Amino acid sequence: AMEAPPWRSRARYKGRAGPPWKETYRLRCMERLRSSRAKLLERYRQAGGSPSGPALVQEVMEQEWRTLQALGGTEPLPQMLEDPDELAVLEEIQQELILQEQLVMKEYEQSLQFDEECLNAMLDGLDASDKIICPVCRKNNLTVRNHVVFCQCGLYISTQDMTEEKLQSLLENTVTEHSHRCFHNPEFTVTSGMEEEASLLMSCAV
């Protein structure tokens, strides 16, 4: 539970509307939590995949409270929470933010799992006969001869002594190595300069 940042209210808010600052504060907290998404994921990754608890939520709430105060909307946080109505409002907002934070974690975990499944599907070649799905079009199988690798999509690369096994393990190692450093999917394209042979390039938007 939050350490009661004690509030005091000069006016009691009767009825269901709640205090006038409530909606402003709630929206600002939500917005800040959304914009702190990157920070949240960074902490999550550093913690080895275990959420850091509502620490960020607390930070967000305190920062936004100070901002709101500066705008002249409320009393200092240290004097708050003597009023049970206002305490209830703050706790309700805190719960909502914690839920939001957990949602971000869950989405992140699902996207990691999805990336891994895509990767495995691609690496399995989706075919028992050691076929390799073309990393550029991701639809057709590559044909590997010892001097050339090609695909129906137009990929055509000259090689020396290439085999399916060699190519499979090259792709596998490169993609796996990238996934240790970055959780975005890499893209594959074929590049060729004026003089040089065509080659397969793996790049990442991040």
Burial state string for 109-129 with b = 16 or more CB within 10 A and e = fewer than 16: eeeeeeeeeebeebbebeeee
The predicted model gives 144-163 an average pLDDT of 85
Residue 16 lies in a domain: no
Q: Tell me what percent of the residues of the chain surpass a pLDDT of 70.
A: 76
Strand partners, 141: 133
**Domain end: 63, 96, 128, which one?**
128
Do 102 and 149 lie in a common domain?
no
Do 123 and 150 lie in a common domain?
no
Residue 106 lies in a domain: yes
pLDDT for position 107: 83
How far is residue 71's CA from residue 185's CA, in Å, rounded to a whole number?
44
Most confident region among 74-78, 84-88, 161-165 by mean pLDDT: 161-165
Instruction: Give phi and psi for 157, each to the nearest 5.
Output: -130, 125
pLDDT for position 87: 77
Burial state string for 21-46 with b = 16 or more CB within 10 A and e = fewer than 16: bbebbbebbbebbeebeeebeeebee
With bands split at pLDDT 50, 70 and 90, how would you rate the model's confidence at 153? confident
The predicted model gives 158-175 an average pLDDT of 85
With bands split at pLDDT 50, 70 and 90, how would you rate the model's confidence at 75? low
Residue 152 lies in a domain: yes
Cα 149 to Cα 11, 39, 146, 168, 171: the distances in Å are 77, 43, 8, 12, 13
Residue 83 lies in a domain: no
Structural contact between residues 87 and 4, judged by C-beta atoms closer than 8 angstroms: yes
pLDDT for position 10: 38
**Domain end: 102, 128, 154, which one?**
128
Output the average pLDDT for the chain. 76
Span of 14-18, 83-87, 106-110, 116-120 with lowest mean pLDDT? 14-18
Nearest to 30 by CA among 94, 82, 75: 94
pLDDT exceeds 50 at position 8: no
Higher-confidence position of 132 and 78: 132
Structure tokens at 19: 């205090």
How far is residue 150's CA from residue 148's CA, in Å, rounded to a whole number?
6
- β strands within 27-176, DSSP E: 143-145, 148-150, 156-158
pLDDT exceeds 70 at position 73: no
Quote the number of domains for the chain: 2
With bands split at pLDDT 50, 70 and 90, how would you rate the model's confidence at 58? confident
